[in-house]
Amino acid sequence: MQEVVLCLCVVDCVLCFSELHSLITTYTGIHGQTVAGIPEFSAVTTLDGRQIDYYDSDKGTLVPRQDWMKEFASRDTWKKDTKIREQVQKIYKNNIPHLMKRFDQTHGVHVYQRMYGCERDDETGDSRGFDQYGYDGEDFITLDLRKGRYNTSVPQATVTVEKWNNDRTQLDSLTEYYRNECSYWLRVFLKKSFVVKKGPDVTLLQKNSSSPVVCHATGFYPSAVTITWRKNGQDHNNVKIGDTLPNEDGTFQKNATLNVLQDVWKKDQYGCVVEHINLTDPIQKILTEDEIKSNNKSTIPTWVYIILAFIAFFMFVFAIILWKYRNEFKSGESYDLL
């Protein structure tokens, strides 16, 4: 079964090397004919981009995604969190048809989401909570914690915003959660999930001589990193920066692809520069053929090919002898071996 985590939006940000940690829960409800294996409802909690628990309508139970989370799975709070997800699943199933009516939709696949949680800057100690809803990939409703009220720019959401803003008890409860409780659990989970801080290992990769060169940084923690390609000492723009992805050991990886042909980059000096909080100096890899690790470069020793050649030769000779023997046997007298 596939697990689905859809994003409400993508936000570009400027990297700073203070350690920003996050605890985020995302609910996703899908209405309509879905692809086989994709659940109608899923809930995912991530810590610094790593899944720590998962629930969906097919499994019907909250599952820990990290070994250290199994400790929490035996607590009463785990049962409470499971019940919450079961209730949200029912709410989403009822809400999406109502949203479809507001948007004058009668059929098709529609997605309703909520993403909430908090971020904390270890350097300053500042924390920030957030709570936002999306419908069909567009922003729908956002909670402004400073003003203690919901906002929307979508006419179809106005009725809901007015209703929620009139519920001061719920607003006060959410404000308290984001300012204190969420930050508390973020610190608890970070302590339990402690990963040794380390800088990245950097490699230049290329599938073949006609493929683009990829600057691959991996094994770093925390996740904040910058990767740039430079041409003759100046930043080069013809670069595709990939997403920061988690590794199984809790560290992260990221790619930056240089979209320049080999006969072009040989004429100038290109280099990949990687910066990370745990590096005293940036790592710089100058692009040369010797520096590239390519799939075309064989790791099999030459002597192996020599042995394989001899084996192939002897098999060829044996096949000729066997063919001649069979032809002689077939042209002679037939024997009943039984």
Q: What is the mean pLDDT of residues 78-102?
A: 95
How is 292-304 classified by DSSP, letter by letter? Answer: EEETTS--S-HHH
Q: Is the pLDDT of residue 8 over 50?
A: no
Mean pLDDT of 197-203: 91
Long-range contacts of 80-86 (CB under 8 A, 24+ apart): 81/53, 82/55, 85/27, 85/43, 85/55, 86/60
| For residue 81, pLDDT beyond 50 | yes
Confidence of residue 329 (pLDDT cuts 50, 70, 90): very low
Who wins on pLDDT, 338 or 286?
286
Please give the single-letter amino acid code of residue 138: E
Q: How big is the chain by its Cα radius of gyration, in Å?
A: 29
Which pLDDT score, from 0 to 100, does residue 137 have? Answer: 93
Domain over 201-294 is classified CATH 2.60.40.10: yes
Coil, strand, or helix at residue 218?
A: strand
Is 70 exceeded by the pLDDT of residue 146?
yes
Q: At what angle do helices 158-165 and 168-176 cross, to 10 degrees?
A: 80
For residues 32-44, average pLDDT: 85
AA identity, residue 333: E
209 versus 28: the higher-pLDDT residue is: 28
Class of domain 20-192: alpha beta
**Span 216-237, mean pLDDT?**
93
User: How crowded is the C-beta side of 213, counted as CA atoms within 13 Å?
Assistant: 29
Is residue 227 within 8 Å of 236, Cβ to Cβ? no
The predicted-structure confidence for 108-134, as pLDDT tens digits, reads as follows 999 999 999 999 987 788 889 999 999
Average pLDDT over all residues of the chain: 83
Q: Which residues of 134-158 are buried (b: 16+ CB within 10 A; e: fewer)?
A: bbeeebbbbbebeeeebebebeebe
Q: Which of 32-46, 132-146, 179-193, 319-333 has the highest mean pLDDT?
A: 132-146
| Residue that is written with structure tokens 């929307």 in the block | 152
